[in-house]
Each structure stands twice: as structure tokens, then as C-alpha cells.
A and B are shown apart, each in its own frame.
Chain A
Amino acid sequence: MVEHVEEIVVALSSIPNTGKTTLFNRLTGSSQTTGNWPGVSVKKKVGHFPLGEYKISLVDLPGAYALSPVTEEEKVVRAYFLKTPPAIVLNIIDARNIYRCLGQTLQMSMSGLPMVVAVNMMDENSQLDIPCLSTHLGVPVVPISARSGRGIPELKQTLYRVIEDPERTHIPHISCPPILEAVSRALSEKIIPGGPLAKMNANFLAMRLLEEKTLPQSIRNTGMENCIKKWRSQVEKSTGEAIAITCAKCRFNAARGLVLEATHQKPPPPDENSQRIDHILLHRWVGLPLFLLIMLLLFQVIYGLGAPLQNFVGQGFDAAEAWLRVQPLVSRQSDLLQSFLFDGFWQGLGVVTAFFPIIALFFICMSLVEASGYMARAAFLMDNLMHRLGLDGKAFINLLLGFGCNVPAIMGTRILSSHHHRVITMLLVPFSLCTARLQVFVFLTTILFSAAVAPWILFAFYLGSFIAIIVIGLFLKIIRMAGKSEPFIMEIPPYRMPTFNNVWLRTWRQLKDFLCQAAPLIVAGVIVVWFLTYFPADVPAAGAESWAGQLGQFFSPLFHPLGIHWQEIVALLFGFIAKEIVVGALAVIYGGGDLSNQIIQHISPLQGLSFMVFTLFYTPCVATIAAIRIESGSWTVTLYSFFLGLAVAWVASLLLYQSGLILGFS
């Protein structure tokens, strides 16, 4: 007999950086699944843990300051609460600074949803009067330390009690200007909340309608629009400010009183250690060089350590392939099937696993940087530069690490603070010269140019890559690709020791996402390329008569002004699998023999340059495309990136080749 277990949804909510994810990890371990919100690239994490006879499904939401959103993240949080209200809200307060958190807590508690408040980081400030907070908030309050695990059993017990008896939570009263109170009461009488909203307080819903000009249709009844508009302007005229601001003021006035009651001793002074460290790390002159040094170190750790690991995995794969090929079961199969298995499917798997070591290292390093608090400092240091591209300083780290490999850099855009920044960064990262492209350039430049010139050409490519990122960034800013940017007011948290648990769960989760979501796309992409080069079946693979060859010839008029022949177009097609394959593909296409000689015969130095410029900018490899697809959650952004790359590559190669011809090079 299957036992009937009731699943209870509990949602974590608080302002940013209070320890939601730490608590989430502590309660659920590694048993979580991630889902995507439609349209937005914010991941909703859901994890499960048992509580008595119930099965709790815990939802980790991004931090939000209020339910009337300013940022994209907050829109997501608001939409979550209004569309699928959870059974219980688990609100978190940072014990070091309860005032800042209480504004959001008070707003959540007005919703009428059953709520439990956890005061986190009690290890840093243990002098709070918890019963007093509980009395005034009208909800159970539990002191915990998510990092050390103190208070977690009590928190679970409290949750259990609230599940059993949800009526015990009360809605606190917050005084606001009489006119606002009157209007919201009148409006609340008109609301007939249906469906999931039925359990919410009508007054709270009325406030949502008044505070916001754009609200999901769900609460709004038709015919109320005009009345809301009239009332809103009435209130705003009398207070002289937006209702959202008036409400925030009222909440924080209440919060201030509560802070005074709940703290009997002077609050702990701001962290002196952080100040001392910042004095050096954010120093006017020393700060930037230290930042670059740290970045260099990260780069070395990720790619210096990652590349040998990658090779190692690659060799393992090749060995396994060689072993598989001679197995009677396999070698008895038809040519077609064998080719499909090895040149298509197996190679796709190889591409996927090759990314594992660097993705793991990348996220270990990034979690360390983020959890220690240095990420916010890096953003502060680089903000001015990145602001010109319409980004904030954090994006700099992604762009920089993209020079190692685009894939983790794009997956790492998850740390950026807004949807806008994530999309722009995702579109810019593919223009950075990753190590795969570097391999192609090193190979071609040493063949086509003298030893004295080759390094300069490589250097010029790096420079070109930087310039492209800046120019395209400015272009995207001008056309406002990803909407308006948000006001920049970023918290600078104190420095903290990263916890092992957080770092490895984060890394594990990213690897799992990559495996579950990106891997199928990557394998499919590789199979498509295999398909094009293998068929029709009776011609040499990737030869002139194969579909790839025909495709190359079909497009060759378009590439003629760039000095690129159809053979190289086919190689570029292969480069879609992974850019370092371009060289090997050339060898296959030219039909064997000494590759260097073949290349010197077929490609002039100027044509080679043009080809390399095209390789640098054109559509990123299939893994990058897959990463963009998962992180942006949108095919539009993915296609945009695809075609943006092609367009930029075409224009850049054309400019280079034609101006080279005019200047008399060949």
C-alpha cells in the first residue's frame, strides 16, 4: 500500500544575503531540483525534506526587498507569491541588522499567509529579545544559525506546529496615513479574491493593487481599473510621493520601534576586520592591481588545473572509443551505425564530459569569491568601467574568465544581479578569445607567418577581442537589447569564511544542470554536424559532394569577399562542435597529406587572417549556445547570440580582407 504523504510547500523569503540558500542547503542537503521560471533566467530551487508525517517541499527564492518590485528578481518573487502562494512563508532576518530585514518581514506578514520567522546569524549577535519580536510580529520567531546548524531542530518543530495549526499567526497592524488606510479598506471590500489568492488578506491585496502600476491580471477584476487609478492619484496627491514609498516609510517606522524594543544592548559595532581588509583591498591605488592579481590567480587555478584534467578525460574517452570499436558487438554493425555512434553520439558525449573539470573548478572558485564577500568588492572596483557598457562590475569577472572558456563564464552569469545584466553579459562573453580558439590561432599563425610576426598577431587577436566586446557592448546598450537598467545600489556584505557545504552543493548543482539540460542540446548539435558531413552515404565524409560540402559551396559567394573558400566553410561548420576542431577538420577536408603544406598551398596569409577573424567571432560552439539557452531560458536570446556572432564575424572579416587587399597584401 502506498502511504499517503501530504506535500507542504514552504517558501523562503527575505532580503538578499541573509542566509536563505545556506538554510536551504542545510535543510534539504543535496536533494533538490531546479526549475526555471518562464521567461526569466532566475532559477527556482526546490528541495525536499521530511517533517513528521509531512513531506516539505522548500522553495529557495532570490532575495527581494519588497513585493512592489524594482528589479527583475523582485518581479519574479512577487509573481511567485501572487500566483502560487505557498502554504507557509519561512522568513529570514539577519540578527546583525534586524532593522533592514524587518521592512520585508512586516510586508510578508501582512499577506495573511502562515509565517515562521527565523532570526539567522545568531552567532554574530546573540542579544536579541526573541519573545518580544514574536509578540509584535504576531508569528513564531526562532533564533538559528544556518551555518553552524544551531536552532535548526527548533525551527523544524515550529514549522511542524504551524502546519498543524496554521490559524495561530496574526496580522500586525502598521499605521499609515489615514487617507491611505481608508482607500485600501474601501478597495479591499471590492476585491473578491479567487483561486490561490483566497487565503491572502484582502487588505494586503488592495495594497498590492495600489502600490503597483503593472500587476499580474490575477487580482485585478475588470472594471476596477479606473477606480484604483482615481484613488491612487488621490493618495499620491495628498502625500506627495508614490504609494510604494509611503508604505515603505510606514513599515520602517514600525520596524524602528520594534528594533528599539527587541535590542536591549547596543548592537555590535560594524565588523572591524572587514574594515581593515577593505582598507587594503579597496585602496585607491593598490585595490585594482590586487584585484587583477586575484583574477590572474583564479584564471590559473581554473584553466591551469582544468586543462590537464580535460586532457586526461579526453584521453580516457579516446581509449574507451578504441576499445569499443573492436568489440564484436559493435564492429559487426553497419558502417552507418558505427559512424553515427562514434563520430556523432560518442563525440558529443566527449564534448560534454570535457567541460566537466573546468565547470567544476570554475564554480568552486566563483563560490569562494562570492561567499567570501569579495564579489561585491570586485563589482565596486570595476563598476565605473563596466557601467559604460551598461553593466555593473560583477560582469567584469565573467567577461574576463570567458577568455578561458565561454561555457562556465556563461553559466556563471547566474551570480549577476539582474536579468538585464545577465543577458548582455551572455551576449558579450562569446566574443572573448577562449583557449579553444587560441589553439587554432597558434597553429595557423605559426604556419602562415614567421616566428617574429606570429606572437604579434596573437596579441592583435586578443586586442581585437577586447575591442569587439567593448564595441558590441556599447551597441547593445544603445539598442537597449535587454530593457532598461536598474538603479545601482549594492550592498557590501562583511567578509565571511565560505562554508564547504555551500561551495560543493553549488558546484554539484551546476554540474547537474549542465548534464541534464545542456548535454542533450550539445549531443544533438554534434549529431547534426555529423549528419551533414556523413550524408549522402556513398561519398567521402566532409568532401565536396557531402551535404556539408554542398552547403559550403552554396554559401561560398557570401564568403568570397572574405577570402574564405568552401573547404574552410566546412571546417567552420565543424568548429560549431568545438572551435579547436577547426584545424583537424581542415586536415580531413583537404584529404590528408601534410596539413601545413596543404594550408600554405590553399590559404594565403591574408586569407588566413580573415579566416581566423571569422573563427574568433562567429557563432560560438554548441556548448556555449546550449549554455546560453539554459541560462537565458529563451530561444530569442540564443538565436540573437547565434546571428550576432555571424554578423560580427562577417563584417570584421570583410573589413580586414578588403582593406588588406587595398593595401596590397595578399
Chain B
Amino acid sequence: MKKTDCKFSRQPGVECIIHSLGSDEMIAQRLAQMGILPGARLHIVRLAPLGTTIEVSVDGGQSFAMRNSELVALECEIVAIPLTAVDGPPHTTYRIHRLAGGRTFRHRMEARGIEPGCFIKILDQTGSPIRVQRLDQEEIVKLGRGEANKIIVKVTGG
């Protein structure tokens, strides 16, 4: 079990699964009564402009605003992060979990072979554009940072 890492939990696009509601009884009780229980999946949707307040959506549905202090009280395991946040060695393979953009973005990505479920290898993550390659294709896809931010990959590599 991995405790929420602050760096990750504060990045839009991160997805985690709650393992325990934490030790603050008021927060735990509130979450439990809202139906947010261990096993629920949280997506970090966005941060407020002034920071520390975070919009999360639970199990892909209802959105909630909570503060960072409430979020770090939870024990979660991170299951998916944006492509820009991966920190494995070069040429690690990742599985695409979700495309977080709107419909046009999804169509554009799917046209280039980037779609949920497929495996991609990251060739060069530091520069811009980021170069990735689909495992079953030859072609190298170049992604801007903004695009890569919206491509959510599973944490446990291929």
C-alpha cells in the first residue's frame, strides 16, 4: 500500500483507489456517509486557481471539491497518472488508461493510434515534443506537453 504522494495527488489527471479513510474521524465519517468508501476511485479533475482546493470526481461520476489537507488524510494507491508524470527509465512501456480531453481531443488521438487499452513505449520524455511509440506499430507519435497531460496511463507498466 502506498500512501498518497503529495506531488502526484496534486496533479490533474491522477487517479487513485482509496485504501483507507485515514485517521481523522470527522473526515472519515463524512466521506463514509457520502458513500466514498475504501475501493472507490478518485480522479483529480483540477486544482483551484489559488491552489490547495482540489476538484475530484468519484468513480467517474459526481464531483466534489475538497482541500488538500482532506485529501492527504486518505490512504490511496495511485493507479493512473498523466503521461507527463511518469518517472520510469526510458523505453518503459505503459498502458493507456483513459483520454481525459473532450471529444475532439479523443478523436484526434484515436486517429493517431493512441487509444485506451493500447500499450505505448516512451522514447523520449524529457524534451518537447514527447515521442512515444505504440508497441504494435512502427510509427513514432509526437505529442505536445498539453496533449500528454491529458493522456492518462496505468502506473503498473506493461
Contacts and interface: CB of A to CB of B under 8 A. Distances in A.
Given A245-B28, A270-B57, A487-B26, A380 B65 contact: yes
B146 interface: no
B35 A380 contact: no
B47 interface: yes
B50 A282 contact: no
A242 B28 contact: yes
Contacts of B26: 70, 486-487
B62 A487 contact: no
Given A255-B35, A488-B70, A384 B52 contact: yes
Given A66-B33, A100-B34, A387 B52 contact: yes
B131 to A, nearest CB: 27
B29 A242 contact: yes
A379 interface: yes
A244 B30 CA distance: 10
Interface stretch (A83-91, A284-292, A528-536): A284-292
B68 to A, nearest CB: 10
B55 A70 contact: no
A381 interface: yes
Given A103-B35, A242-B28, A383 B53 contact: yes
A192 B136 CA distance: 72
A154 B97 CA distance: 45
A383 B65 contact: yes
Interface in B99-146: 102-103
A490 B35 CA distance: 13
A491 B32 CA distance: 14
Nearest to B28: A245
B83 to A, nearest CB: 19
B35 A100 contact: yes
A244 B48 contact: no
Nearest to A211: B29
Contacts of A249: 32, 37
Contacts of B29: 68, 70, 242, 244-245, 248
A301 interface: no
Given A242-B25, A387-B67, A488-B67, A288 B49 contact: yes
A338 B51 CA distance: 61
Interface size class of A (residues with CB under 8 A): 35 or more
A103 B33 contact: yes
A383 B34 CA distance: 21
B47 A284 contact: yes
A120 to B, nearest CB: 16
Contacts of B46: 278, 282, 284
Nearest to A486: B26
A287 B53 CA distance: 14
Nearest to B50: A384
A285 B50 CA distance: 10
Interface string A271-289: 0100110110011110110
Contacts of B34: 15, 65, 100, 103, 489
A492 interface: yes
Contacts, number: 125
B48 A383 contact: yes
B28 A241 contact: yes
A252 interface: yes
B33 A492 contact: no
A245 B64 contact: no
A310 interface: no
Given A242-B25, A252-B37, A100 B102 contact: no
A405 to B, nearest CB: 28
Interface in B15-42: 21, 24-35, 37
Interface in A167-215: none
A379 B46 CA distance: 14
Contacts of A15: 34
Interface string A234-251: 000000011011001100
Contacts of A242: 25, 28-29
A97 B65 contact: no
A384 B51 contact: yes
A201 B36 CA distance: 27
Contacts of B49: 283-285, 287-288, 381
Contacts of B48: 282, 287, 380-381, 383-384
B72 to A, nearest CB: 13
A99 interface: yes
A380 B55 contact: yes
B61 A97 contact: yes
Nearest to B34: A65
A376 interface: yes
A487 B69 CA distance: 10
A605 to B, nearest CB: 39
Contacts of A489: 27, 30-31, 34, 64-66, 70
A196 to B, nearest CB: 25
B70 to A, nearest CB: 6
A385 interface: yes
Contacts of A241: 21, 28
B92 interface: no
Interface string B84-107: 000000000000000000110000
Nearest to A377: B65
A487 B70 contact: yes
B105 to A, nearest CB: 11
Nearest to A283: B49
Nearest to A489: B66
* Listed residue (A276, A279, A383) with the most chain B CB atoms within 10 angstroms of its CB: A383
Nearest to A282: B46
B158 to A, nearest CB: 28
Nearest to B103: A272
21 contacts: A15-B34, A70-B29, A100-B35, A103-B34, A244-B32, A244-B33, A245-B21, A248-B33, A249-B32, A267-B61, A272-B102, A285-B49, A287-B48, A387-B67, A393-B53, A487-B26, A489-B64, A489-B65, A490-B64, A490-B66, A492-B63
Interface of B: 21, 24-35, 37, 46-53, 55, 57, 60-67, 70, 102-103
Given A70-B30, A287-B48, A487-B24, 7 more contacts: A245-B28, A270-B60, A270-B61, A379-B65, A383-B50, A486-B30, A491-B64
> When A and B form their complex, which 6 residue pairs have the shortest distance between CB atoms, in order from nearest?
A384-B50, A248-B32, A492-B63, A65-B33, A383-B53, A66-B33
